[in-house]
């Protein structure tokens, strides 16, 4: 798991945080549902409180208490699948939150309550 924690570190500060193991399970299930051998492109994993605050200043779409700060969320894309396909597959799993950001080029998935936006 330490390798996963490192991969999903805050790329702005370099801070590493423990990532919830159920997030790895979610990504594994999502990859299986999409039937792809390609790796996910990680847009954003863990966010330090400082990074989250910085992003909140730039965008109203960043939650004050983002699950990214708890190691429970990741923003992803996939080279050989469209964003609508990725979103649909994530929604079908019913394992947490799914956010769709087509203008930014990613889908947010988390292991919080089942919800979508």
57-68 pLDDT, tens digit each = 998 889 999 999
Tokens of residue 91, six digits: 């929604």
Domain coordinates in residue numbering, the chain: 2-116
Q: What percent of the chain has pLDDT over 70?
A: 100
DSSP state for residue 19 in the 8-state scheme: P
At residue 75 the predicted structure's pLDDT band, cuts being 50, 70 and 90, is: very high
Q: Residue 89: is its pLDDT beyond 90?
A: yes
CA–CA separation, 29 and 83 (whole Å) = 17
Q: Residue 54: is its pLDDT beyond 80?
A: yes
CA–CA separation, 35 and 2 (whole Å) = 26
Q: Which option is the CATH number for 2-116: 3.30.1380.10, 3.30.360.10, 1.10.287.3510, 3.10.20.30?
A: 3.30.1380.10
Prediction pTM value: 0.94
The 3-state DSSP class for residue 33 equals: helix
Tokens of residue 34, six digits: 């999409």
Per the DSSP assignment, residues forming a β-bridge with 107 are: 76, 100
Q: Are 69 and 103 in contact (CB under 8 A)?
A: no
């Amino acid at each position: 798991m330490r390798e996963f924690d490192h991969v999903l570190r805050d790329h702005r500060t370099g801070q590493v945080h423990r990532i919830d193991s159920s997030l790895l399970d979610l990504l594994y299930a999502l990859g299986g549902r999409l039937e792809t051998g390609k790796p996910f492109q990680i847009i954003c994993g863990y966010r330090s409180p400082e990074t989250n605050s910085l992003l909140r200043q730039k965008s109203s779409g960043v939650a004050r208490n983002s699950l990214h700060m708890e190691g429970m969320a990741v923003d992803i894309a996939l080279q050989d699948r469209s964003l609508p396909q990725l979103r649909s597959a994530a929604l079908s799993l019913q394992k947490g939150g799914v956010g769709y950001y087509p203008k930014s080029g990613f889908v947010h998935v988390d292991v919080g309550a089942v919800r979508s936006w």
